[in-house]
Chains A and B, each alone.
Chain A
Amino acid sequence: MNNSSEAVAVRLDDVRKTYQTGEVEVQAVRGVSIEIAAGEFVALMGSSGSGKSTLMNIVGCLDRPTSGRYFLDGEDVSSLSRDELADVRNRKLGFVFQNFNLLARTSALENVELPLLYSEVALTNVELREKAEQVLEAVGLQGRGDHTPSQLSGGQQQRVAIARALINDPEVLLADEPTGNLDSRTSVEVMEIFQRLNEKGITIIMVTHEHDIASYARRNIVMKDGLVRDDVVVQNRLKAAAELEKMTAGEALEAAV
């Protein structure tokens, strides 16, 4: 994580994505050009169907643009093969999904280790365990390694997912509505983790519908009909740690009354 703040993590050059469903052609993304510097924390917003997820899939190397170029960490990844894209995802990207996508009946530790199983880096079982325990600790889940997803709350499951995204030390952390399935307090807890990670230098791109969640980011990009309509720096940025304290104080007050 020694990127200087000038380094460009993600650069999109007139990226378009057209879906062909039968006779109908859907232009989900219609020419997006953005630059996201290393160390940024971007919230991608916009109404439903505006192309946020489509764009995130391209940025996440899960999908290829129909046209346009995409540079990730300076490398042109717009025309890589399936396997090459998989390797890029493994080395440089971490994913956090709305529905967590943890492997059922598999312990938190094993879930977290998953990306390392597909990594080129050869680790021994002991090293693997150590690393997984480290990242679980980083998201505040020390001691929960043996729990399976069904034994964890939604917030805890999302933390396991974040730990999994972090295990390969990614350049960019991608999250498509990471708080979509969580209550407000748990959402802020996730934002607290994101801000802490971002402080350490990880670039974060997050899709969200909620304005208050977006104000935890440094920059907001708003999409409409497959185009970027607005791109602003967040003015009154919220600090998740402070918000959590306020919430705890409020709860204590309620309890006292």
Chain B
Amino acid sequence: MTSKNFARRLRLLSTFKIAARALRRNKLRSALTALGIIIGVGAVIAMVSIGNGAKAQVEAQIASLGENVILIFSGSTTASGIRTGWGGAGTLKIEDAEAIRREVPAVTLVSEEVVSNAQVAAGNQNWFTRIYGESADYFEIRQWALADGAPFTSQDVRSANKICVIGRTTATQIFGSEDVVGQVLRIKNVPFQITGVLTSKGLSSQGTDQDDIVIMPYTSAMKRVLGGGTTLRNINAQVASPKDLAPAQQQIIALLRQRHNIREGRDDDFTVRNQEEIAAAQTATTETMTALLAGVAVISLIVGGIGIMNIMLVSVTERTREIGTRMAVGAHGRDILTQFLIEAMTLSVVGGIIGIVTGIVASKVIAMIKNWSSLVSPTSIIVAFIVSAGVGIFFGFYPARKAAQLDPIDALRYE
């Protein structure tokens, strides 16, 4: 029994040799057939890598919003999803932020936010940029460190001091390579002293330059840039840990409904979102993109598989006499089946391996040219490898079975 098993194994080994020999005999044809798989697998790997890269980029950008952050916007989102003046309806008051700070214990940091666009100038240079009014907590919430100088303090916020911190882009646009800290920036003809320059954050998930910014105490922004008013565009709040997000969100909603006297059954006049929800929406978009691209790539893989099937069918027909001869000298149907299956699998696996390498290189090149990022995941490589072997088995099976079921006499007589 064991010697028989041993003989069987040896038989499988020689079947491998036979298959390899057959493929080498038709080098060009084998190469062209494998090319179908190379392109298919290459496309899958490239698309998935670029898709993953985009996803990772979006995730990084969302993470740059800060961790465990709850955003409260004024204006509501109705049940049907229509936003009525998101951030614009001015329903959030400074007192609301104070209340959250006071009454929601899970919330550790709070930043009142107002936003405006304005022309800023220094010397004879000017620049159109976004002005953010925030509390001193803002830099910690967004985990936004300063490259140079110091942020403003709670004291500056209370006194509405005329100071600000600016982003890298704004700094370069106005001051070039000059030292920025200590310089004076005129906003609406009010001089603000620059106390610090922020580290660079790059593009946001919407593609805006996050470094094109001026951040000042929200009190100063309200008073000197917006020209009065007491409503906030939004409130940024941070909780200590992810498990606090949901309860804190519930408490904030309850608190604000009570403060805004919203009766049971009426819509909120504000919107509370946590960072995870925003992330989910964003990644869903990139995932759809990835799925679409991968879908196209999978189609090309199927086409490659059909190519293998086609060539294997041709090969079986061409080699009918060979099959007959092999059967005449003792080959079982199973031996013939294995031989052709191994041939098909060799084509697809070798094609798959080359395709994986090609795909990785292609994704890096595309990412470099287009300035995207690409992320090759080990899973996608393993899956691509298994799938290409599977394609070989799936599309090789029919031709191989056809060969195995040939009648030896008919096969020997075949012209």
Residues of B within 8 A of A121 (CB): 7
Q: Does B409 contact A (CB under 8 A)?
A: yes
Q: Is the CB of B408 within 8 A of A120?
A: no
A119 partner, pick from B25, B330, B334, beta carbons under 8 A: B330
Residues of A within 8 A of B325 (CB): 101-103, 114
Q: Does A33 contact B (CB under 8 A)?
A: no
Interface, chain B (partner A; CB < 8 A): 3-4, 6-7, 10-11, 14-15, 18, 21, 25, 321-322, 324-335, 408-409, 412
Q: Scan A112-152; emit 1 where CB is below 8 A from any B CB, else 0.
A: 00110111111000000000000000000000000000000
B322 partner, pick from A83, A103, A119, beta carbons under 8 A: A103
Residues of A within 8 A of B11 (CB): 117-118
Known contacts A117-B14, A120-B7; is A86 also within 8 Å of B322 by CB? no
Q: Does A82 contact B (CB under 8 A)?
A: yes
Which of A44-52, A87-95, A189-197, A235-243 has 4 or more CB atoms under 8 Å from chain B? A87-95
24 A-B pairs with CB atoms under 8 Å apart are: A60-B328, A83-B333, A83-B334, A86-B327, A86-B332, A87-B332, A89-B328, A89-B329, A91-B330, A95-B328, A101-B325, A103-B325, A104-B322, A105-B25, A114-B329, A115-B329, A115-B330, A117-B11, A117-B15, A118-B330, A119-B330, A122-B3, A164-B329, A168-B330
Q: Complex formed: what's the CA distance from A66 to B326 in Å?
A: 24
Q: Complex formed: what's the CA distance from A95 to B409 in Å?
A: 12
Whole-angstrom distance from the CB of A60 to the nearest CB of chain B? 8
Q: Does A70 contact B (CB under 8 A)?
A: no
Q: Complex formed: what's the CA distance from A102 to B319 in Å?
A: 12
Q: Is the CB of B324 within 8 A of A101?
A: yes
Query: Which single residue of chain B is at the shortest CB-CB distance from A57?
Result: B409
Q: Is the CB of B333 within 8 A of A101?
A: no
Q: Is the CB of A95 within 8 A of B329?
A: yes
Q: Complex formed: what's the CA distance from A23 to B270 in Å?
A: 87
Q: Is the CB of A101 within 8 A of B321?
A: yes
Whole-angstrom distance from the CB of B12 to the nearest CB of chain A? 11
Q: Is the CB of B409 within 8 A of A63?
A: yes
Interface, chain A (partner B; CB < 8 A): 57, 60, 62-63, 82-83, 86-87, 89-91, 95, 97, 101-106, 110, 114-115, 117-122, 164, 168
B328 partner, pick from A62, A87, A102, beta carbons under 8 A: A62
Q: Is the CB of A118 within 8 A of B335?
A: yes
Known contacts A82-B333, A89-B328, A115-B329; is A122 also within 8 Å of B7 by CB? yes
Query: Which single residue of chain B is at the shortest CB-CB distance from A97?
Result: B412
Residues of B within 8 A of A118 (CB): 11, 326, 329-332, 335
- What 5 A-B pairs have minimum CB-CB distances, sorted nearest first? A90-B330, A118-B330, A115-B329, A122-B7, A117-B14
Q: Complex formed: what's the CA distance from A97 to B409 in Å?
A: 12
B332 partner, pick from A63, A83, A91, A101, beta carbons under 8 A: A83
Q: Is the CB of A87 within 8 A of B330?
A: yes
Q: Is the CB of B3 within 8 A of A62?
A: no
Whole-angstrom distance from the CB of B232 to the nearest CB of chain A? 82
Residues of A within 8 A of B331 (CB): 86, 117-118
